[in-house]
Amino acid sequence: MLRIGVDLGGTKIEAVCLDELGKELFKKRIATPREYELTLDAIVSLVEEVETQLGKRATVGVGIPGIISPKTGLVKNANATWINGHRLDKDLGARLEREVKVANDANCFAVSEAVDGAGEGKALVFGVIIGTGCGGGLAVAGRVHEGGNGLSGEWGHNPLPWMMAEEHKSTECFCGQHDCIETFISGTGFIRDYQQGGGEAVSSGCQIMALVKAGDSFATQAFERYMDRLARALAHIINAVDPDIIVLGGGMSNVDAIYPKLPNLLSQYVLGGECMTPVVKNRFGGSSGVRGAAWLWPA
């Protein structure tokens, strides 16, 4: 059984084909046309190219930066705005003459890491993406858990837990709320906090971490605040869901200093003062999303 996964992003569309064991047989990336019908054309063309090259028909799964509304069947909340309001799964299915599974890209990340990634063998995997924004997804026994509203794993748009007085009403989120977790623990939030705390102009979290290594006090204080906020946010998930493992993805997941510091910090906030939940770096990096789209179809 061959599985095609498609990762539909705002600037690129990536396709991969996996065999039964998860080996990549095909991989290609193209620019995303910023029109709905052209986007459908591009995905169909990629699928046809895979099947022509490999000589076999495959299942198709697609990861998107939004969700299919369980109420209307239409895409919503996608930052690739031209797909909003459309029946993407049905339209692609009609074009490809088969059922097409569509899921949020963070859920695809969680599935990828649960099936054969860093969370392999774990029953309940919480996948976290902390980059420009902050997303999350849940995989149960290697399958997407979307929830009744299609919002499972959307931890980034809950308020930062156990807020300090100076944190309250200190940030505004694009979703219309204040003090969302995303505004504090995304890479963007890390940079904002560092600069507001007196740091110099930077464009990435990696630059701040280089300053931490150099002994810069503003960078060191910003990273300490970041770690405490990340621990509070993850402890909230552990208290509510208690996943078997948490897998980090996105740009901030590459900050290796995060992993040895988290266990002690988590224990300060998890109910009962103990936390055995492993928090680990992803196995497949930027390929997790597209691989997870392929794994939307189980064996």
Asked if residue 153 belongs to a domain, the reply is yes
Sequence-distant (6+) residues with CB within 8 A of 132 are 186, 187, 188, 250, 251
User: 121-151 pLDDT, tens per residue?
Assistant: 999 999 999 998 899 999 999 999 988 998 8
Q: Assess whether 92 and 225 both reside in one domain.
A: no
Q: Assess whether 141 and 257 both reside in one domain.
A: yes
Average pLDDT, the chain: 95
**Structural domain of residue 176, as residue ranges?**
118-282
pLDDT at 254: 94
Percent of the chain with pLDDT over 90: 90
Q: How far lies 229's CA from each of 66, 185, 225, in Å?
A: 25, 7, 6
More confident residue, 132 or 232: 232
The answer on pLDDT for 299 being more than 90 is: no
The CATH number of the domain where 178 resides is what? 3.30.420.40
Q: Assess whether 200 and 261 both reside in one domain.
A: yes
Q: Assess whether 69 and 152 both reside in one domain.
A: no
If DSSP codes are grouped into helix, strand and coil, which group holds residue 31? strand
**Phi and psi, residue 178, nearest 5°:** -105, 150
Percent of the chain with pLDDT over 70: 100
Q: Assess whether 88 and 236 both reside in one domain.
A: no
Asked if residue 112 belongs to a domain, the reply is no
186 vs 144: CA distance, rounded Å: 23
Query: pLDDT-based confidence at 204, cuts 50/70/90?
Result: very high
154 vs 149: CA distance, rounded Å: 11
Burial of 222 (0-12, 13-18, 19+ CB in 10 A): buried
Q: Assess whether 47 and 184 both reside in one domain.
A: no
Q: Assess whether 61 and 200 both reside in one domain.
A: no
If you search the block for the tokens 């039964």, which residue do you land on?
Answer: 20
Q: Assess whether 82 and 160 both reside in one domain.
A: no
Domain count, the chain: 2
123 vs 293: CA distance, rounded Å: 19
Query: pLDDT-based confidence at 10, cuts 50/70/90?
Result: confident
The number of beta carbons lying within 10 Å of the beta carbon of residue 128 is: 29
**CA dihedral of residues 210, 214, 215, 221 (deg, nearest 10):** -10
Q: Assess whether 211 and 240 both reside in one domain.
A: yes
Asked if residue 299 belongs to a domain, the reply is no
pLDDT at 175: 87
User: 26-84 pLDDT, tens per residue?
Assistant: 999 999 999 999 999 999 999 999 999 999 999 999 999 999 999 999 999 888 999 99
User: 275-296 pLDDT, tens per residue?
Assistant: 999 999 999 998 999 999 999 9
